[in-house]
Amino acid sequence: MRWSQYFIPTLREDPADAEVVSHKLLLRAGLVRQLGAGIYSLLPLAQRIQLRIMQILREEMNRIGGQEFYLPAINPREIWDESGRWAVMGDNMFRLKDRKGADLCLGMTHEEVFTSIARNDLRSYKQLPQVWYQIQVKFRDEARPKSGVLRVRQFIMKDAYSFDIDYAGLDKSFEDQREAYKRIFDRCGLKYVIVEASSGAMGGSASNEFMVKTDAGEDMIATCSGCGYAANLEKATSRLQDLDDGIGLNFPAEFPTPGVRTIEDLTKFGSGTPADRQIKTLVYIVTRGGEAKPLLVLLRGDHQLHETKLSDNLAGAEARAATAEEIYSLLGANAGSLGAVGAKQKARASGKEIYIIADSALRGRRNMTTGANTDDYHIRGVEVERDIKVDQWADLRTVTSGEACPNCKSGVLGVFKALEVGHIFKLGTKYSESMGATVLTQDGKEVPIVMGSYGIGVERIMASAIELHHDADGIIWPNSIAPFDVIVTVTNMKDEMLREHGEKLYKDLQRAGLEVLLDDRDERAGVKFKDADLIGIPYRITIGKKIGDRVVELFDRRTRTSEDVKIADVVSLVQKLALAGL
Ligand code: ATP
Ligand code: MG
């Protein structure tokens, strides 16, 4: 490609509305343009990058026996009703009607369509396992599209699905995908952490996310300094230090606490009650099958609730924080004086049934303090399992940096911001059961197919490569996904000798199988160097004054070092460098 005719609308200044680095550089380097909220056009440079990423995805899916499909992005409502997700997906789903008034949606993911094919055409264990995938556009009406192409409403996903006769088969398919994902991210030049994750709306059991540590991410992960433990904060646990509760009281005792409204207030009130000796009481309203019920969530005073952990423990019911009025009418006190001791009886008096879920860190604790459900009063000497009727124990708290690893003896957990680039799930039989995808076993028994689902966002790979690989001058593409392998910069197009050598080198490099951009623009050398740095081509060959000695300069964008190379040697040298590690 010749830069003079190629569309690379670079910008001199950082765009004002872009916050994360990848968003800024995608705009500045002329890779994308925004069309609407969470809707972007990919310009020619970006399209070249995306195609290279997709090629890597194809190669690695094919290597594990994946078969490429291409399914419709527009789906009839019926299959989404069958799986139950027409209702579950809520506002995130783009819905439309056709001319006959029939409901359709734009696919957010393709479990339903793939399962509908499987149920019609897979009949016997002999046909399994199958690994099916596609590279297809997905639509999600995200609540907060942001950060350039990191969270958009239309994006390209490689989604794969495995179909096995049993769970042992699924374990193998899952492992194959896990290995393929590692190779994909390694080849794309991304440093990543594999974490345990909550399975959320997709349903299913085991799930791993591939996370890139970056402040541009919206997830939080905990990783151990000592062993390989890593988990999304929505799933992470830690080992807590044992606390000495002393003997405690024979029964809980109420005491006045005028003006105390928060855990913090109580740590300073009177002789002070440390936060880890307090019980935090949160009130939620849980809706299941249209029926709303109050829920008390109990945590240690110094711990924070993780809402995903809570919803993962509510078997699909929706939970929301109760309003101040709802709290008062339920317990007769305001937030700040709430507690679970006697709460069930109190609510029952007004005809309400409270459910109590408590964090495991409260198990076995004695001598604790909590609100008395009367404003300005608390109760001390609470022995949790003696004085509170807990309906369900669960891991609900948010792990924080510095806590001990749950997996090894000496490791300490660090908590980091991270960006999810890929997600692999063991779905089990959720979709095959709800949609009736069964096969016959060897003994002629009809069983639901055991499924897995595996997704990677193509734009997210492109943008996270920028997050990880850039400097003050611009992007530094990993060789494998760079839009061009090498750029040939002719310092002065008016000089015939330089121009002719540039043209010849351009052709020679192409003949050697390289993707080459020839900067043949009528610009000053300084401008060309700056632009080349900005768009991040891994190698630049500069044709300048030394051409008289048949010497050119080879510049490495990553190390920012240059060396003089004989023009006769430069093609094979660049070929070797550019193709290394692909
Ligand atoms: P997130 O938690 O970031 O919303 P998700 O859990 O909804 O992601 P999946 O449904 O597992 O994502 O989709 C698989 C992959 O698709 C993700 O790992 C990510 O790379 C990509 N992806 C998901 N949502 C978006 C989006 N709105 N914009 C761009 N890429 C996305
Ligand atoms: Mg999402």
Identify which of 218, 460, 464, 467 to mutate to test ligand 1's pocket (most ligand atoms within 8 A of the CB): 460
What integer pLDDT is reported at residue 157 of this predicted model? 98
What integer pLDDT is reported at residue 75 of this predicted model? 98
DSSP letter at 29 equals: T
Give the integer Cα–Cα distance in Å for 254 and 384.
15
Percent share of the chain, pLDDT over 70: 98
Which of the four pLDDT bands, split at 50, 70 and 90, describes residue 284?
A: very high
Residue nearest to atom 14 of ligand 1 (CA): 455
Averaged confidence pLDDT in the chain: 95
What integer pLDDT is reported at residue 204 of this predicted model? 56
Give the integer Cα–Cα distance in Å for 341 and 382.
8
b/e map 75-99, b = 16+ CB within 10 Å: bbeebbebbebbeebeeebbeeeee
Give the integer Cα–Cα distance in Å for 384 and 362.
7
- Ligand 1 midpoint to CA 457 (Å): 6
Backbone angles phi, psi at 404, to 5 degrees: -80, 145
What integer pLDDT is reported at residue 317 of this predicted model? 86
Identify which of 89, 202, 423, 424 to mutate to test ligand 1's pocket (most ligand atoms within 8 A of the CB): 423
Backbone angles phi, psi at 138, to 5 degrees: -125, 150
Which of the four pLDDT bands, split at 50, 70 and 90, describes residue 582?
A: low
- Ligand 2 midpoint to CA 320 (Å): 19
The CA R_g of the chain, rounded to the nearest whole Å, is: 30
pLDDT tens digit sequence for 47-100 = 999 999 999 999 999 999 999 999 999 999 999 999 999 998 999 999 999 999
Q: Please give the sequence-ordered ranges of beta strands (E in DSSP) within 199-312, or none if there are none.
A: 207-213, 219-224, 230-232, 253-256, 279-288, 291-300
Threshold 0.85, pTM exceeds: yes
pLDDT tens digit sequence for 138-180 = 999 999 999 999 999 999 999 999 999 999 999 999 999 999 9
Residue nearest to atom 2 of ligand 1 (CA): 420
Which of the four pLDDT bands, split at 50, 70 and 90, describes residue 414?
A: very high
What integer is the mean pLDDT of 94-119?
98
Which of the four pLDDT bands, split at 50, 70 and 90, describes residue 9?
A: very high
What integer pLDDT is reported at residue 198 of this predicted model? 74
What integer pLDDT is reported at residue 288 of this predicted model? 87
Give the integer Cα–Cα distance in Å for 322 and 305.
15
**How many residues in the chain?**
582
Strands of 561-566's sheet in order across: 516-519, 486-490, 539-543, 551-556, 561-566
Task: Tokens for 108, please give them.
Answer: 């957010």
CA dihedral defined by 271, 272, 278, 282, rounded to 10 degrees? Answer: 120
Which of the four pLDDT bands, split at 50, 70 and 90, describes residue 362?
A: very high
Whose atoms come closest to the Cα of 456: which ligand?
A: 1
Does 423 contact ligand 1 (Cβ within 6 A)? yes
- Ligand 1 midpoint to CA 231 (Å): 17
DSSP calls for 249-275: -SS-EEEE-TT--SHHHHHHSTT---G
Whose atoms come closest to the Cα of 308: which ligand?
A: 1
What integer pLDDT is reported at residue 124 of this predicted model? 97
Is pLDDT above 60 for 217? yes
User: Which has more pLDDT, 202 or 292?
Assistant: 292
Is pLDDT above 90 for 476? yes
Helix (H, G, I), strand (E, B) or coil at 71: coil
What integer is the mean pLDDT of 113-121?
98
Is pLDDT above 70 for 41? yes
Short-list 298, 305, 252, CA closest to 278: 298
Q: Which residues partner with 422 through β-bridges?
A: 210, 456
Does 155 contact ligand 1 (Cβ within 6 A)? yes
Q: Return the amino acid letter for 288.
A: R
- Ligand 2 midpoint to CA 522 (Å): 46
Which of the four pLDDT bands, split at 50, 70 and 90, describes residue 199?
A: low
- Ligand 2 midpoint to CA 152 (Å): 10
- CB-CB contact of 297 with 285 (8 Å): no
- Ligand 1 midpoint to CA 200 (Å): 12
Which of the four pLDDT bands, split at 50, 70 and 90, describes residue 542?
A: very high
Give the integer Cα–Cα distance in Å for 246 and 497.
89
Q: Which residue has the tokens 């300069």?
A: 553
